[in-house]
Every structure is written in C-alpha cells, then in structure tokens.
Structure 1
C-alpha cells in the first residue's frame, strides 16, 4: 500500500452513519381553528353516526335516521340554550324591581313677587359715610343699587356695619333679597357672607351687631315657592320614576329646579337656627316645617353634592328645638316626611342620610327612630302601633320581599336598650334570615 493513497473508508462516497432527519416543525393550531375544522369536516356527524351504529341493532341503521338524530340534538341544544339565557336574564334582572332613589322636589321656578324697593340708597349709614368721610363725593353719579352692590361685594358694607355696631332694616332686608333671589353668584355669595357675619355670636353669646330685622319663616317660604318647591299638597307625593330620574338632566332648563340660590337659603336658615339662645326667630311649628323641607331635599338627586351643607343645616334645625319641644315636634316631622316619601329606597335614603350626616345625639337618634316607626306603620297600614306589635309583623314577613327598618327603630333610641326580650327576638330573626335566601343569591337582595 502506498502511503499517499487514501484509506479504504475514505473512498466511500457517503458517511458511515446516516444523516439525521430534519426535525419536523409542529404547526400551532388554535382552538378556533380546531372548532372550525371540526364543524367544516363534519366530524361531529361522523362521531354521532359511529356512536349510533355501535349501539343500534345491526341492519336498522340508516343515513336518514342519523340525520334526524342530529337535527333533534341541534333543536334540543337550542331549546336548552334559550332556557338557560332566560334563567340567567331573570337572575340578573332580579334587582330591577327595586327602583332607584330620588323624587322630584322642585318644579318650574317662578318670578319672585312683592319685591319692592326699600329705598336702601337713602339709608342713614350710607349718607353719614358720604358726609363725614367723603364730603366731595358725587352721589348723583354713584346713587342707586349698583353702588351698594359694589360695596357689598368688596366687603365695605360689612366693615361699615361693624364700625357702626348696628345695621338698619333697609340694609338687612335688601341684602336678604339679594341673597335669596340674585342670579349673580358673586353678589349672592357676598350677601350670604354678610348674613353669616351679622348673625354670628361673640364670646359672651351675643350678636356682634345690633339688628332688628330677621329672616322670617314667611319670607323663607316665599323664596322656596319661587324656587318651585313642592309643598305638601294632595297629589304632591312624587314617585321614583322618569320624572325623578329626569332631575339629573334638568340643568338645560333655567326655569326648573334645583335653584342656584338653594345654597344661600340653607346657609341663612342654618345661621338663624344657631342663635336660638339669643333670639327665637321661628316658632316650633315653623321650625318643624323648615326641618321637613331640609330633610326632603335629601331626595333630590340634583343636590347630591351638597350633603355637607345639608348636614350642617339639618343639625342646626334639629338643635333649634329644646328638650321639651322635641318629643312632640319630632313626631310631627316624622309624620310629615312619611306623607311625601315613597315606601321604597327613598325612605331608606332619608334614614341612612340622617344617620350619616347628623351628630350622634339624643335628638338625631330619636328622629331616626320615629322616622322608621312612621314608615313601618304606613308600610303595614297601621293606624296605631307599638314596637312589640310591629316586631311581630316584621318577623312574619319574607325577607326577600320586604325592606326592613327595624334596626333604626330599635337601636336608634335608648328606650329599647333595656328591653332585652325585644332586642333578642330581633337578633334571632336576623340570624334566621339566611334560611330564606339562597346561598348564591345574596347579591340580588343587597339593595333591599
């Protein structure tokens, strides 16, 4: 063998070991592709046919029979799906029988009546200011309400009142008119600040300035009438329906409430109630009507952003009554509220709002208790009812069909804390409520 000659295995054309086969790439098939292929190729029909042929006696299978079976299966599946959709839709719509809260509290606004000029430009305060401080002041050019409005918005009118220590009736009446009816927001806010200041008390619980004109109930009521407020009259009781829900979209009309001056109205009512120890501006019956109005405003969906102002006014109105007046006045207020509120989420809205935004004192607790009692009496059609009788009626109802107010009735008043039998009976009833509601359907009854 010549050394330069190739070896035997080097003469072979191919390698000794076979070359590895190229790896096959797996095709990724999605679920949608499988389903599409499944229905296009008719594999489901073949599967049904094969299953039918295995279980059917020999000699009796036919293509027509398999086709009929498949059609029956398709029909059955459609019926089943329709029934399932109806059941699901019924469960989802179970809360539709609970209407949303909200009632129409304001109707179309009216132009204020009997707003005559008080001759405020000729008041003694303004004349003395111009004569003593500015003898060369040209009153002929600056006369009129425009000049006083500028002084009011700039704060000069309030400074003059504090310097003089008193305020004339023409000034107070004029500023109150601007507060209640002015469409100028800055002028309205300045008049409100003016009244907040002159109705403030010093450290000795005395008014900072001497005044003899106070906002009367008749003036405040006339303002609410011009705002379109629906007072208690036959047929006034609004329902939670399209008219109430439409309150969210009433801002396009300038003549429909809630009015722009309602904030100023609430603030001046609150300020008047806070000085009860110094001056009783309202009688107990008038204070009752004001409290009913403030509570009713909680049902206007257009006033949801004013809960803080409503809460402050509500607390002031409740605190206006002394202990001897409150027991009888509270019952009157609760009865008046129940006459105009619907027995649905509206009554729960009022009780919940009073619970949330009022101070936890005996007056507010008694009000919640009386409201719950009066609402339950109307709900059950009782003319006279006590707590024991009411409790028996409530524990006999189906919790899936009735709204419950007994918690506020029993636990918002100290009168029932010592009556352990009543409280224990109610607690046992609440424990047994779970047996009346399906485990999977708790959310359906949460609004109730």
Structure 2
C-alpha cells in the first residue's frame, strides 16, 4: 500500500530527472554572472590601457593649443555676459596735469648777507654770544625763518629787501625741505595779509614768476596741452612737493588787490582755470579743501563789472580744453560754492561744454534743448554714455543758475527731454548706462513735477 502507483511514474513533475534539470539551471545562472563580471573587468582594463595610451600620445603643443582655445572661448563668454548684463566698461575721471619737471633755479643769493636784518643782528651786542660771521648768514636766516622770527623782524624793520624777498620766494616754491618751504609760505602770507603793520616790500613777485614756477613743475599749459598725455594711466611725472605752497600763495595774492598789484584780470582768469585743472588730478585729491579755498578767493578777486565778462571767458576756455568724458563733469562739479558767482561760473562752464559737444551747432539755449530732445534714445546705436554726460551738464546748466524760473519755454523743453530719457528707456534695457540715464532723468523729472 505504501508503494507508488503506476500513473505516478508517468507524471513528469514528480520524476527525478526534472529535479536534476532545475539544479542545473541555478548553477548555470551563477556561471553566467561570473562570466559577465569577468568580461566587464576585462573591458574596463582595456579602456584604461587605451586612455593611458591616448594621454601618452598627446604632446605638450597639443595641450597648449587646447588651453589657448579654451581661454578664447572663456573670453568670448565674458564679453557676451558683459553685453547682456549691461556692465559699464568705462574709465573714471582723472588726469595727469604734471609732466616732467625742470631744474629749479638756485636757492642761494649772493647779496643776502648784506641785508639789513642780518647786518643789524651782527652789529648787535647779542652777536658776541653767537659769534656769527657773514659766511654763516644763510644758515642763521634759515633758522629765523623756520622759527617764525623772520616775519616779526620784518614787521619791526618795516621793510623787506629785494634779496630777502627773492630768497624766501624761491624757498617757498623750490626748496626740497618741507620745513623751509612751509615757513617761507607762512612768511609771505603774513607779509601780504598784514593790516595793522604795513610793510614796504622792495620786490613783489608777479604772475610771471607764478607761471614760471608751474612750467618748472611740468604743468601742461595751453600751448603744450595734449589730451592723450593727460589721461590717468599715462607715464607722466607726479605733482611737485611745493604745489601746496604755490596754491596758498596764489590765494594770498587774490586777497591783496587793494594793497598790491600782483594779478591782472586776465591773469586771475588763467589762475581759475589752473585751479580747476588741479582738481582733475587724482594725486592732488588730498588738497581738495585748499584748492576750493583758493578758487573762492580768486572768484572774489574780480569786480562786479569784470565778473560777467571774465566768467564767460573762463567757461569758453575750459570747454575747449577739458576732455568730453567724466573729466568735464568733474570740472563742473568742483565749482561747488553756494555763492552767486560760483553758481554762475558752474552754469556757464556746463553750458559752454554742451555747445562744444554739439560742435557749436547751437547758438542759444533753445537750440541746445532742441538738439537734446532730437536724440532718439530708443535706437540701439545711441551712445548712452554721451547721453549721461549731456544730462548732467544740462542739469548743472539749468538748475544751478535757476534759469528755468525765468524762461518758461526752456522749462517745458527740459521736462520733455527728461520724459524722453526716463520713459523711452525701459527697465529691461541692458545697454551700458541705460539704467543711469533713466534713473537720473526720473529723479530730475520728479523735481520738475513737484515745482
């Protein structure tokens, strides 16, 4: 009864050969996996060998060529990114107004030992203590000058002899010693500004000496003016050490018109131009306060009858000489006084520069405004950097001098020009200076609407 039935031997599922076949299939799958991984490892090994062979084949020249081509592609991408992002590739304001310096004149004067101040001291009883002789007179006077006693002795004597005046003047402008040039400048400022104790000066420096000092300093005059050599970054000499004393003396000369005839009207006009150009030199940025005070003194030098004509002359001369970039804006904005004359000069300089920018095609204020309004800021070829220059110049021309209050036609044209700049340039405009022109015009337009 426990034995198998006959039909069970005939069932293929219950027969032993079936079990054997299943075991053979499981073993065969393991073998296939093993073979697969073996082939995979061989393939990786072959690829590694081929890669090493390829690297060995490449020479150094090929590597350099690939690096050069990669660098070129990167530069192209950067240039495209600048154009897309509207990055403003421009140079800031700044000029080198001093070139190579010349040899200064000698500081020693043969007749200095015979001056009255020195002789009076040598003949005094105190000289027995110092035992001063004429050969050491220069050193003695230098000591008096450095200690501030020379000006006091000049007030006591009531006179400054020619040799003493020329000696201290040259020390002020050409001495390499800071103590001597500063003391000499203090000496001259004290002598010129004296009110209660008038002093007779046998020799008074003129504008010829001041201009000659600038030439020795290497200042670029009208005749040697070269815009390419004046731009910052060119290989030019720096400002001289004595320029601070020169500026202080120029300011002192402008205060003594009623006492001493040092400057003529035309010479004072040239000095104003020189001071404005000194503002454009980055290396003289530390003298901004001193330059401002000197400019205010020079502007106050003119009489009421002279000022209107002199103001126009200064503006026209500057407009022809200043480069039409951010330097012209700096030249306008450095005239920063709040008095009436400073505002008039600032407005006049901005107006004359605008005329030169348009090649003198305009003859009056209305024609200038028509030229500005005619500029189509929507065009891709429109130079928005120039548009920004025009906008700032027009702002200083019209608003500083309050011209809009007296000429309603100019006021309407000014508002139209601002609307063109603010509304016709979209916020998505990626051109260089597009955002600056739009924002500046929008800000100014709000002021006109408020008024």
Match in the other structure for 2:332: 351
Distance in 2 of aligned mates of 1:296 and 1:116: 32
Highest CA radius of gyration, 1 or 2?
2
Show structure 2 runs of 5+ residues with no match. Answer: 1-73, 378-383, 438-451
Q: Which residue is equivalent to 1:322?
A: 303
Aligned to 1:272: 253
Asked if the contact 1:121–1:148 (Cα under 8 Å) also holds between the matched residues in 2, the reply is: no
Task: Output one character per residue of 1:281-338: Cα deviation in whole Å (capped at 9) or x when no partner.
Answer: 1111111111111111111111111100110111111111111111111222112212
Count of paired positions:
352
Q: Structure 1 residue aligned with 2:218, among 209, 220, 228?
A: 228
Matched, 1:179 2:169: no
Alpha-carbon distance between aligned partners in 2 of 1:446 and 1:246, rounded to the nearest angstrom: 31
Counterpart position of 2:14: none
State how far apart, in whole Å, the 2-side matches of 1:180 and 1:446 are.
Answer: 47
* Residue-by-residue CA offset, 1:89-116 (whole Å, 9 max, x unaligned): 21446411x3321222111000024767
Distance of 2:352 and 2:295 partners within structure 1: 20
Alignment check: 8 A CA contact 2:159 2:202 kept: no
What's the TM-score, normalizing by structure 1?
0.72
Partner of residue 242 from structure 2, selected from 261, 275, 291: 261
Q: 2:208 aligns with which of 202, 218, 232?
A: 218
Change in 2 beyond 3 A, CA 1:275/1:95? same
Matched, 1:370 2:348: yes
Q: Secondary structure at the match of 1:320?
A: coil
Q: Is the CA contact 1:411–1:417 (under 8 Å) kept in the aligned structure 2?
A: no
- Residues 1:237 and 1:246: Cα distance change in structure 2 (over 3 Å): closer
Write the distance in 1 (CA, Å) between the matches of 2:358 and 2:135. 66
- Asked if 1 retains the 8 angstrom alpha-carbon contact of 2:171 and 2:180, the reply is yes
Matched, 1:237 2:229: no
The separation in 1 between residues aligned to 2:93 and 2:137, in whole angstroms, is: 47
TM-aligned CA deviation for residue 213 of structure 1: 2.7
Alignment deviations for residues 198-249 of structure 1 (CA, whole Å, 9 cap, x no partner): 12243xxx66433243221000011000000010126x232488x52247xx
Corresponding residue for residue 286 of structure 1? 267
Q: Which residue in 2 is equivalent to 1:192?
A: 185
Query: In the aligned structure 1, how far is the partner of 2:75 from the partner of 2:341?
Result: 56
Paired residues of 2:113 and 2:134 also in contact (CA < 8 A): no
1:307 equivalenced with 2:288 (yes/no): yes
Counting only pairs closer than 5 Å after superposition, residues 419-434 of structure 1 correspond to structure 2 as 419-434=407-422
Q: 1:88 aligns with which of 81, 89, 94?
A: 81
What SS does structure 1 have at the residue aligned with 2:95? coil
Unaligned runs of 5+ in 1: 1-80, 251-255
